[in-house]
Structure 1
């Protein structure tokens, strides 16, 4: 991490724990970059209350502070409007005697000091597949319309409110063939919480943590995850620590065969947020692991697989080249090896294609069209020039090889 990234993590750590930020420890801050990083990581709303309380001597300049405040107010109002809407949706499910389980942001936001500042891009709900048509009718009557459907969930959009993702399966079997037992276990182990006056089922605390970890593992394989997902995990663990049965949790991650990834994930949280790691998940050998350094690097680059075809910033390309050069003691791979991985990157397997190319999921014959679509999209992106795209592609060849080693090390 550089000094700006470290500052963002320190502010986030203080924000989720509602601790005071000491002005005396703040000096020479590049507030423009801090604001940009917090927007990229979708945590600017969470940081705002702490930034606002800083003394005038160290606060961001007026222009940045005004924009930060404006965006935070708009986002929080939108979140409040959406959560009130979700309360109505959940009430209608209850009235129709439809069993549903709230997931991810709908649950995690309840642990944040100011709920509306933990933003969501959609609302995730788990239902039984046999209730899908009933739920669909309720949502259509409320002004939602169906947008996308695949093997595990369907997305409903609304002109005024955030999308709703209805899941009947939690895990895509393309990623984790051993996590299927969770589908039954999550329904057997539920608890009830109040979301805006509506009693709502949520997974047991162990299954909530497990699902967060599985969700991050999927994102890590596909594109990467960011600071907000990590802060969710830290806040959930620290808020419910006395209720968590770590022995049960460890048995669950062993059944899913993701214990290596989870142990590393907790080490990342320890390094970044100084979270106390349960003894059963602690591995001292990881304290100086370069692979953990790579994961932390990916957290800030938002996942290199996104690249010029997704979310990753070109600012990280040069860093990736240097990082890989150091990891390999200055030895770069042969031209044949690079060519092999460039081809892998340009022509990925179907399950590694993003939602933009969802039309291939139902028909393998569309894969060549998706590859062409993806290449054209990357070539004509205006936020990167030709030189940057070439540099990225060369760096990607080396990075993919290191990523593959990392995936094997994590047993993903």
Structure 2
């Protein structure tokens, strides 16, 4: 799809999403000009298909693709919720502390079941019990897709059960102060009253983590429109009760105060259908063209901006010789001894030249186009 068409259908997606999350009926003149196949394609890119399906149904449109996507989202959410309950009970039995993360809670705050589509379940657990957590999943007939790489392990079971079990919320390789701020996060968690080993954030700390998570993606490959929907949904539910004095102080510590303000203001304007300024439109376009999981163009542009401090040469040096904190995340065995550091750099080089050749080639191509 051409970029012009993509943007036009993204505008329709945003309008329909704004209507349905605010319980408003879309205007007929907007409905008459929809291109449903292209709208569906854009919604899939932003994981807002179920949301838009509800909006279409509110005006009597039951398109097969949208309806199937919505029903699939409902089924998957129900399955993930049920299985999360099973996993949490097993963590309780093994006396492992845990905290379900963002999406597991956010989807309940959307107006209707399945409206927030879920790809997986993210759970923070005791970092000293990751091997026992793996045993729990293997005994439950999951496949372990990643273990001991970065700050989370990945498990999958057919047909749709995906779990990411986090030993920490961020890694030391992430931009800014995210890792440092959330490194000892358990100290700020609140004990659940209904179980023995479960924890949760305060509303303010939930918002801080949600923003930090989006900032991580925003300054990497980019993040899509659904992150703005999440912000809007959260603010509708909690804005009036939040301690903004605490939040402003903590946002300064995190170094994301400007990001929070622009993200919040844009989300409110977009989903209350307010007039956007030119700067608002530019920022919204970044979300639109990033899609849900970002793109290589953003990775390189943001890499030069944040990692290279505006210099392509500095960025290349960073990519070839990343700091030890990054190296430990991408090559975990380097933690065993400092003597392995030179070997790890050589390993990364050959892995990039062989296994990740296409990805590295795309990155260098985009760097040349910057």
TM range (shorter): 0.7 to 0.9
Deviations 1:194-221 (A, max 9, x none): 9xx9995331111111111111111122
Aligned match of 1:364: 345
Contact 1:234 1:275 in 2 (8 A): no
**Which ranges in structure 2 are unaligned for 5 or more consecutive residues?**
302-310, 324-328, 334-343
> 2:41 and 2:193 mapped to 1: Cα distance?
35
Distance 1:309 1:232, change over 3 A: closer
Shift of 1:95: 3.2
Shift of 1:106: 0.5
SS at match of 1:164: strand
Aligned match of 2:138: 140
Deviations 1:226-250 (A, max 9, x none): 1112111110111112321111111
Q: 1:19 aligns with which of 17, 24, 39?
A: 24
Shift of 1:343: 11
Matches within 5 A, 1:256-275: 256-274=254-272
Aligned match of 1:75: 73
> 1:77 and 1:237 mapped to 2: Cα distance?
27
Distance 1:21 1:266, change over 3 A: same
Contact 2:49 2:70 in 1 (8 A): yes
Shift of 1:367: 2.6
Contact 1:126 1:167 in 2 (8 A): yes
Matches within 5 A, 1:341-360: 341=312, 348=319
Q: 1:296 aligns with which of 254, 269, 284?
A: 284
TM-score by length of 1: 0.70
Contact 2:217 2:294 in 1 (8 A): no
> 1:140 and 1:120 mapped to 2: Cα distance?
22
Matches within 5 A, 1:332-347: 341=312
Aligned match of 2:153: 154
TM-score by length of 2: 0.77
Aligned match of 2:295: 306
Contact 1:91 1:198 in 2 (8 A): no
SS at match of 1:165: strand
Shift of 1:92: 2.0
> 1:159 and 1:346 mapped to 2: Cα distance?
42
> 2:193 and 2:19 mapped to 1: Cα distance?
26
SS at match of 2:168: coil
SS at match of 1:21: coil
Contact 1:128 1:168 in 2 (8 A): yes
Distance 1:201 1:29, change over 3 A: same
> 1:29 and 1:112 mapped to 2: Cα distance?
24
Shift of 1:137: 2.4
Shift of 1:348: 4.3
SS at match of 2:230: helix
Query: Does 1:167 find its partner at 2:155?
Result: no
Contact 1:100 1:201 in 2 (8 A): yes
Distance 1:256 1:54, change over 3 A: same
Shift of 1:184: 3.2
Q: 1:42 aligns with which of 47, 52, 58?
A: 47
> 2:193 and 2:239 mapped to 1: Cα distance?
17
Question: More deviation in 361-370 or 103-112?
Answer: 361-370
Aligned match of 1:230: 228
Q: How many residues align?
A: 336
> 1:160 and 1:305 mapped to 2: Cα distance?
25
Contact 2:70 2:114 in 1 (8 A): no
Shift of 1:111: 0.4
Matches within 5 A, 1:10-409: 10-55=15-60, 59=61, 65-148=63-146, 149-179=148-178, 180-185=180-185, 187-190=187-190, 192=192, 201-274=199-272, 288=277, 290=279, 292-302=280-290, 306-307=295-296, 341=312, 348=319, 363-372=344-353, 373-376=355-358, 393=365, 397=368, 400=370
Aligned match of 1:405: none
Aligned match of 2:13: 8
> 1:374 and 1:174 mapped to 2: Cα distance?
19
> 2:298 and 2:38 mapped to 1: Cα distance?
23
SS at match of 2:144: strand
> 1:224 and 1:154 mapped to 2: Cα distance?
23
